[in-house]
Amino acid sequence: MIFTVLTLFPGIFDSPLKESITKKAVDKGLINFNIINIRDFADDAHKTCDDAPYGGGPGMVMKIEPIYRAMEYVEKSAGRPRYVLLSPQGRIFDENTAIRYARSKHLCLVCGRYEGLDERVLNLVDEEVSIGDYVLSGGEIPALVLIDAITRCIPGVLGNEQSSIDESFSGGLLEYPQYTRPDAFMDMEVPPVLLSGNHEEIRKWRRKEAIKKTIFKRPDLMNRFTPTDEDRKLIREVMEEIPE
Ligand code: ADE
């Protein structure tokens, strides 16, 4: 899969993509990055990419032409990608969107900057995505967030294919609690079932704990969760264990 990024600050992408999972995915040939400086597509001597807003008001607005020309350049060498604009006005990004984007052959993330972006850029992109209800200085960090989450959904990226399925949100529940050695630290002990070697008991315990965690920490996620018959029984058990 190709990730193309259109940005005024390509340096922001230098080190994060060269570490950890994204680096390994590049080394395995599963993903490729193409970081493009929008400024290279400005057509005046000053490489202007922003201008004053029509109608007046404070701040500067990112111009449409350099972005359009950068897109033309991308399409000439690699065909038309799926264009996603990062903006606090977009739909909130979640794991299902990451899974959907991971099926694309070529994703182009367009990073807005400054106080705003010419509204007509919205007509050039396929989707507008936000990573949460807060305003960042630009779309670069959100683009890195998307790249990380999407890369993890690409088959072959995570060593253990099961680990992306088990983790929080896939399947609609938070992840069950994990422990490693030592089995006792100060007065905190690892739940005995995990040391029992009984795989069926461990599986059931984990499912119940995932349900418990989700009910207590993120009850909103339960509305979208489709329980199996076993889950329904576990939900009842969790609710019955809550003290009056
Ligand atoms: N650009 C600025 N803030 C943003 C946000 N919350 N999500 C995506 N892009 C942004």
Q: How many CB atoms are located within 10 Å of the residue 71 CB?
A: 23
In whole angstroms, give the CA distance from residue 90 to residue 108. Answer: 16
The segment(s) of the chain belonging to CATH 3.40.1280.10 are 2-153
Are 36 and 65 in contact, with CB atoms under 8 Å apart?
no
Ligand 1 and 116: CB distance under 6 A = no
Are 146 and 116 in contact, with CB atoms under 8 Å apart?
no
Are 126 and 22 in contact, with CB atoms under 8 Å apart?
no
Q: Which atom of ligand 1 is nearest to the CA of 135?
A: 3
Provide the pLDDT for residue 103: 97
Low-confidence spans in the chain with pLDDT less than 70: 114, 160-167, 170
Ligand 1 and 131: CB distance under 6 A = yes
CATH assignment of 2-153? 3.40.1280.10
Ligand 1 and 130: CB distance under 6 A = yes
Q: Determine the number of helices (DSSP H) and then strands (DSSP E) in the chain.
A: 8, 10
Are 150 and 102 in contact, with CB atoms under 8 Å apart?
yes
Cα 198 versus chain centre, distance: 35
CATH of range 170-241; options 3.30.450.20, 1.20.140.10, 3.40.50.300, 1.10.1270.20: 1.10.1270.20
pLDDT digits (tens, 9 = 90+) for 49-82: 999 999 999 999 999 999 999 999 999 999 999 9
- Inter-axis angle of helices 140-152 and 20-27, to 10 degrees? 60
The segment(s) of the chain belonging to CATH 1.10.1270.20 are 170-241
Buried b (16+ CB within 10 A) or exposed e, 175-208: bbeeeeeeeeeeeeebeeebeeeeeeebeebbbb
Q: How far is CA 36 from CA 7, 70, 74, 110, 242, in A?
A: 6, 8, 9, 10, 54
The residue length of the chain stands at 244
Ligand 1 and 7: CB distance under 6 A = no
Under DSSP, is residue 196 helix (H, G, I), strand (E, B) or coil? Answer: coil
Pocket test for ligand 1, best of 87, 94, 141, 145 (most atoms within 8 A of CB): 87
Q: What is the dihedral of CA 97, 98, 104, 105, to 10 degrees?
A: 160
Half-sphere exposure for 238 (CA within 13 Å, toward CB): 19
In whole angstroms, give the CA distance from residue 129 to residue 114. Answer: 17
pLDDT digits (tens, 9 = 90+) for 212-233: 999 999 999 999 999 999 999 9
Pocket test for ligand 1, best of 9, 117, 133, 136 (most atoms within 8 A of CB): 136
pTM of the model: 0.93
Residue having the nearest C-alpha atom to atom 9 of ligand 1: 87
Q: How far is CA 155 from CA 15, 99, 158, 164, in A?
A: 24, 10, 7, 10
Provide the pLDDT for residue 156: 96
Provide the pLDDT for residue 65: 98
Are 26 and 82 in contact, with CB atoms under 8 Å apart?
no
Provide the pLDDT for residue 167: 66
Provide the pLDDT for residue 165: 59
